[in-house]
């Protein structure tokens, strides 16, 4: 198999894998498990998987002040807050719609980078941001099939992408605290797990793993393992095929998330929601920097 075909297959696997985490997350909430209980065990699994990968790669734990600050910020911005709003929202919203909304991350990231002086103004990318807003408006429109009492969860569902965008700009500005990507996510998962435990216990959201494993529990385990492995695969692909090529998986994640929701959950989207999907992906394509610009910025 040629190297190009291998890269294409890995890219496809990443898109299918990350897209699968959305419906698996909905299954994890299907029996009433609350957000922080789910987040805690998700972080336990991610810590074990990423820790094992770090050991296999001969990479140890980095305990510098810079690394710990990075882990703390990313744990809050990239896991605790967005996952809490994700698990709350997905109990009420279709998984397919959640997959579409997650594509808003680069569109929310661009104005933040602009405000911080980390990016340059571009009419093309402003137009992409406008398309993203139109996509959200289409999902909220009366003909999209979303009951009125669920519309209040759309802003909550966008909190996750907002915090992911904040995380992306923080990492772009501050770096990963002297760690490679797998080490960095291992540390963020470990710190997040430590922070999440007292919150889980104090809010009465503890999930006892001895209480029997059903669809919800296996959904959580599957989602956590897939996320950790996909992240490691993304790092591998970005190192070998380049960040520009690897970033294309964002399109596949959204599309795959919608398809997985149809296959596993029996969801069917209204025509307006399909239109929102097309508009959002077009917005992502316009907001993301061109390959040449990225190469220039990385030089």
- Split into its structural domains, the chain has a count of 1
**Residue 170 corresponds to which tokens in the numbers above?**
């923080």
Domain that holds residue 59: 3-298
Rounded to whole angstroms, how far apart are CA atoms 70 and 136? Answer: 32
Of 287, 207, 230, residue with least CA distance to 49: 230
CA distances from 11 to 5, 36, 204, 277, 282 (A): 10, 31, 40, 20, 19
Please give the pLDDT value at position 228: 86
Please give the pLDDT value at position 58: 86
**Residue 114 corresponds to which tokens in the numbers above?**
């602009």
Average pLDDT over residues 264-285: 92
Q: Cα angle vertex 118, ends 114, 122, to 5°?
A: 45
Q: 231-272 pLDDT, tens per residue? A: 778 877 876 776 667 777 878 889 999 999 999 999 999 999
Is residue 289 scored above 70 in pLDDT? no
Q: Could you tell me which residues come within 8 angstroms of residue 249 by beta carbon, excluding any fewer than 6 positions away?
A: 11, 14, 15, 18, 234
Is residue 199 scored above 80 in pLDDT? yes
Please give the pLDDT value at position 299: 33
CA 227 to chain centre: 9
CA distances from 9 to 84, 237, 239, 260 (A): 32, 10, 16, 18
Is residue 7 scored above 90 in pLDDT? no
């Amino acid at each position: 198999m040629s190297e190009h075909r291998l890269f294409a297959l890995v890219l496809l696997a990443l898109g299918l894998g990350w897209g699968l985490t959305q419906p698996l997350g909905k299954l994890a909430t299907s029996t009433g498990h609350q957000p922080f209980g789910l987040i805690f065990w998700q972080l336990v699994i991610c810590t074990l998987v990423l820790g094992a990968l770090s050991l296999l790669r001969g990479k140890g734990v980095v305990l510098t002040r810079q690394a710990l600050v990075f882990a703390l910020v990313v744990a809050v911005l990239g896991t605790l807050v967005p996952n809490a709003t994700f698990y709350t929202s997905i109990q009420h919203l279709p998984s397919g719609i959640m997959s579409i909304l997650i594509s808003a991350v680069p569109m929310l990231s661009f104005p933040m980078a602009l405000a911080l002086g980390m990016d340059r103004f571009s009419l093309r990318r402003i137009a992409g941001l406008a398309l993203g807003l139109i996509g959200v408006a289409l999902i909220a429109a009366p003909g999209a099939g979303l009951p009125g009492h669920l519309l209040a969860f759309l802003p909550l569902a966008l909190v996750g992408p907002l915090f992911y965008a904040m995380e992306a700009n923080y990492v772009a500005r501050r770096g990963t605290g002297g760690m490679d990507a797998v080490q960095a996510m291992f540390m963020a998962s470990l710190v997040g797990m430590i922070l999440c435990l007292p919150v889980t216990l104090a809010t009465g959201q503890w999930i006892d793993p001895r209480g029997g494993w059903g669809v919800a529990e296996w959904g959580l385990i599957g989602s956590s393992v897939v996320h950790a492995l996909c992240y490691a695969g993304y790092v591998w692909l970005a190192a070998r095929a380049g960040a520009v090529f690897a970033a294309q998986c964002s399109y596949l994640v959204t599309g795959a998330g919608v398809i997985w929701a149809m296959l596993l959950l029996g969801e069917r989207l209204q025509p307006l929601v399909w239109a929102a999907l097309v508009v959002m992906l077009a917005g992502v394509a316009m907001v993301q920097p061109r390959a040449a610009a990225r190469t220039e910025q990385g030089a």
